[in-house]
Amino acid sequence: MDLQVVEQLALLDAWVAEGGVAVLSGAGLSTDSGIPDYRGPSGTARRGSPMTYQTFTGDPLARRRYWARSHLGWRTIGGARANDGHRAVTRLQERGLLAGVITQNVDGLHQAAGARDVIELHGNLARVVCLGCGELSGRADLEERLTAANPGFAAVAAGVNPDGDVELDDAEVDGFRVVDCRSCGGVLKPDVVYFGETVPPDRVSRAFSLVAGARTLLVLGSSLTVMSGRRFVLRAVRDGIRVAIVNRGVTRGEPYADLVIDAPLGVVLPNLAMVTDKGGFTNAVTVLKSK
């Protein structure tokens, strides 16, 4: 590791020590929990197009395929545990150094690590919403119902995407039974934002307000490829708020950032959580030099 990276880590250390940090996290933060990202080193290419809201609501066969794939994917997402990076973010929050946390992830791992008042831009796979009556329910209950309705379903997924979807041949979902809302018989959908669906305006407004009141916007594990996350970087730049990015691989936020560090989040963040006047990256530097 060259001197430039060491200096970058020291600068980030100093910025975080000042407090007022708004965190924006992406899929790269959850890769150490066994959930692949889309575009980073652990990402897997999706063969087909992602599910859209219009297709989900308008095509019963597509909806059946989705629930069959998501039923398998939940075994990975639901069983994932918070990693050292999530726990480090929580420790920074407990120390009063964070203005707040915004996440593009739908895995709930920030909360599992103890973080409070997390703004979940795209929702959470652990919740299910009825499109008929609006009732919210837990994913665990739905999984029990799907298992009971499909006792012979024995398909095996090759991998899982960050949104809980998996790749599965159509022949393997033939006969899969979807269950409906217990209360009204309406269509059930994961309480997440699909492509073609807009993030609730109040959620976006809260996130913009959080960024506006921060000293630093710290982006963790996001390529910022989609505007859903990149818009907060653009707003920070417009308002003169410095932007720091820690990510493995290419990020579209680089032209706008004051600091970009290509380094393992599992190394950087735990040491960042030990911020002191002497510098919290002593151990991180030692580990990174050995890689």
Q: Which residues are annotated as a binding site for Zn(2+)?
A: 130, 133, 181, 184
| Residue 51 · residue 143 · CB < 8 Å | no
How far apart are the C-alpha atoms of 268 and 121, rounded to whole Å? 24
Residue 48: which residues within 8 A CB-CB, separation 6 or more?
167
Active site residue: 71, 86, 110, 122, which one? 122
Catalytic residue at 110?
no
Q: Which residue shows structure tokens 């209950």? A: 141
Instruction: Label residue 279 left, alpha or beta by phi (over 0 means left) and psi (-120 to 50 means alpha).
Output: left
**Amino acid letter, 26:** G
Rounded CA-CA distance 291/281 in Å is 15
Compute the distance between CA of residue 109 and CA of residue 105 in angstroms, rounded to an integer.
8
Intra-chain end-to-end CA distance of the chain, in Å: 8
Q: Which residues are part of the catalytic machinery? A: 122
